[in-house]
Chains A and B, each alone.
Chain A
Amino acid sequence: MSVFVAILSRLAKAALTLLAIAVLNFCLLHAAPGDPAVVLAGEAGAADEQMIAQLRERFGLDQPFYIQLAKYVGGVAQLDLGYSFRQNAPVIDLIAERLPATLLLTLTAFVISLVLGIALGVAAAARVGKPQDSLLTTLALLFYATPLYWAALMAVLVFSVWLGWLPGFGYETVGADYTGLARVIDILKHLILPALTLGLFFMAVYMRMTRASMLEVSTADFVKTAKAKGLSGRVIRRRHILRNAILPVVTLAGLQAGQLVGGAVLTETVFAWPGIGRLMFESLAARDYNTILGVFLVSAAMVILFNIVTDIVYRLVDPRIGARA
């Protein structure tokens, strides 16, 4: 089967999976306690039956569950994610507004963690048993064990409050109205702390995985053969060991990349990063059903997308996989 056909078939399955996810999410959310009309009315500091009835009618909550479900899934099938009654805007607009900030943050964190994680993992494996290896392994364990919100607060305290080197929160300097390169630099400055904080944990994971996998592969027969052929240690590590050892890292990275959209709630909250994770969290608190469902769906779409990308990367890294299929 050609790669093209394989991808097409995956995409078709993906669309069906997404619809099933939409149905499941809808049912789960409606089963949770809390009523968006009561929350919205309550926020006004006063509510009467008339107001709550008005809101329920506007939200369509006065209709039977199956009709609400059918309407929602019907909308999703036509790429209509519905309307946020809390924010008075189409959900797709709300998500589009917040998605770039989240992608910038999480992709930066992803790239940092993957590049550093693999590089350090290779370095540690090459010096296994030596002090450098112990140092790197200990650091990785530390980063792995540190709760994200604590690391984030400490980063703000040290680099923003005490040293004053970097802005502690926000996406850019409010009211500065920078343009062009100045704006890019401004955003990058704001990006450093949240991206590093978010990236540290994953970096530790990739590093440990790369190191372990490298050590395992290095005992394989083909490595011995390569050594016997007289290849240099560097060439063996790069061409033979790493290429084989990286497969589990790709698997893990693919899984984690899928979570990038929804996985940054804590980082976005501490650093006041205007992304989609916060949108989801705030919408959940207000039971803004359509917005939550929309974010969940986009998040699920990303997971599926990254799974497909992972499959493709597999084939590139290890041509045997495509041949077997």
Chain B
Amino acid sequence: MKHLKATTFLIAAALAAPLAAQEAGGRLDIVVQPEPPSLMLGLVQNGPTQLVAGDIYEGLLQYNTDLDPQPLLAESWEISEDGLTYTFHLRDGVTWHDGEPFTADDVVFSADVFLRETHARLRSSLAYVESITAPDPLTVVFQLKEPFGPFISVFETGTMPMVPKHIYEGTDFATNEMNATPIGTGPFKFEAWEKGSFIHLVKNEDYYVDGLPYLDEVYYRVIPDAASRAVAFETGEVDVLPGGSVENWDVPRLTEMEGVCSTGSGWEFFAPHAWMWLNNREGPTSDVRFRQAVMYAMDRNFQRDVVWNGFGTVATGPVSSKTNFYSDDVTIYDYNPDKAKELLEEMGYDGEAVRLLPLPYGETWQRWAEAIRQNLTEVGINVEIDSTDVAGWNEKTSQWDYDMAFTYLYQYGDPALGVSRNYTSDQISKGSPWNNVEGYENPELDEKWFSAATMISPEDRQTAYNEIQKEIVDDVPVAWLLELEFPTIYRCDIKDLVTTGIGVNDGPRNAWIEK
């Protein structure tokens, strides 16, 4: 049985951060797009909110780019041999931004009361939890009903942010006035928010890691137009363009500028995975041969090289190669239009039109839809592009009103957290665009997904997931496209900007500027 325990050297490494070369001071201007609706991370967990609030709030653990858990608010932890008891030992001397001490009571309140009510994604993991208790102010115990393999991966800031009990207990969380001036334990404190312009964070002078953060202040700049964001970087108004801030065709131009660096790292924990939902319920897409034909008809290397400017990796199946328990021992769907035509002929496809719903996230996605339509047209599939806005996309996908629909989702480090939700039949439910929207039903595989989630040994889980991936790839419940890569573009004098598996969401914590 594996014991996961933070060893002393890990803590030492984290605490020994200030080295002679690293210089304190300075300001970073980072683009945030679109403007977050709120910075209260316990209530809202969309991308922009995580980007900004990831500096204000913290979870018990952080994860490196190999997805290994590292200390954050918890300095060490133990997992019992039966996989049912998780004991966390909190750092001593941590305070909230308003000066109140952070204790185990805050952890119990956050996980058991606040987030259970507000955080849908965490709620499905908390379903495995029997009780959360605080035997002393610096110890928290999570007692599980049954083992849950990926449980150690749910303590990341965006998944289980710690919120202050003394501010929220007994209030209506959604309308608490303090949501406007968030209080966390993180390296930066909320200072001001000029709606439509910028969010200003300042250094937390009382941060519990000596010397951190190095930066004095961070401005998150709201610039709604993609071309204007590129200009803002070119003219020096902003220093960091987080992944997805500019259109892909601007990326080479910007990264070729002098003194500009870029990295695709920092997304490992999320591993954004893109695919097209194929409606398994009706029409041509309900036939597995049609779905396989779609896979063979697509030139995904071309899509990556041209539409995505070379960023990304062709996906082999439901699990990203960056996520734990990935396997490439599956049927590989290379570009093979002849094979696609054969399959279509075999099923007797009569040219019935299929509606393709692009993701309304900008020009790149629109072009991607056009590239795929061209590929599919070449093998004789009749495709109609059915464009809509974000709200329309949400409605059409969550109400199953589509034939093929683009999407991409985060995997959160583990197939049981971010993959199985799209394929098991208990996840077929109207109203959500994030579950088994395609309507794929395979009771045998359902069992395998469930049992792989509750295994304790990573070796057993790897074997189980290998088998699942092999089988599901043949069924093609959805058409997997690319493991997306969103490069972060920044000025090279900014050091240590991306140091963890959640990228710039916690970048300013360790970042410093070389003078």
Contact = CB atoms under 8 A, between A and B. Distances in A.
A86 B431 contact: no
Contacts of A43: 37, 44-46
B407 to A, nearest CB: 10
How many of chain B's residues touch chain A, expressed as a range? Answer: 35 or more
Interface stretch (B76-84, B100-108, B224-232, B464-472): B224-232
B196 A98 contact: yes
B219 interface: yes
Given A36-B391, A160-B235, A169-B228, 4 more contacts: A35-B395, A45-B410, A47-B433, A97-B195
Interface of B: 27, 29, 34-35, 37-38, 44-47, 119-121, 123-124, 174-175, 179-180, 194-198, 200, 217, 219, 221-225, 227-228, 231-232, 234-235, 237, 388-392, 394-396, 398, 409-410, 421, 429, 431-435
Main secondary structure on B side of the interface with A: mixed
A44 B124 contact: no
Interface stretch (A112-120, A131-139, A266-274): A266-274
B413 to A, nearest CB: 14
Contacts of B421: 46
A278 B227 contact: no
A174 B120 contact: no
Given A45-B45, A48-B124, A169-B223, A271 B431 contact: no
Contact of A46 (B34, B35, B120, B194): B120
Contacts of B195: 94, 97-98, 274
Contacts of A128: none
A41 interface: yes
A156 B197 contact: no
Given A45-B46, A49-B432, A86-B37, A286 B391 contact: yes
A33 B119 CA distance: 26
A269 B225 contact: yes
A160 B194 CA distance: 23
Contacts of A254: none
Interface string A145-182: 00000000100110011001000111100110000000
Interface in A6-50: 33-36, 38-50
Contact of A47 (B38, B221, B432): B432
Nearest to A48: B120
A41 B433 CA distance: 9
A208 interface: no
A82 interface: no
A161 B235 contact: yes
A87 interface: yes
A51 interface: yes
A47 to B, nearest CB: 4
A35 B120 contact: no
Contacts of B179: 88
A293 to B, nearest CB: 15
Contact of B409 (A36, A45, A48, A169): A45
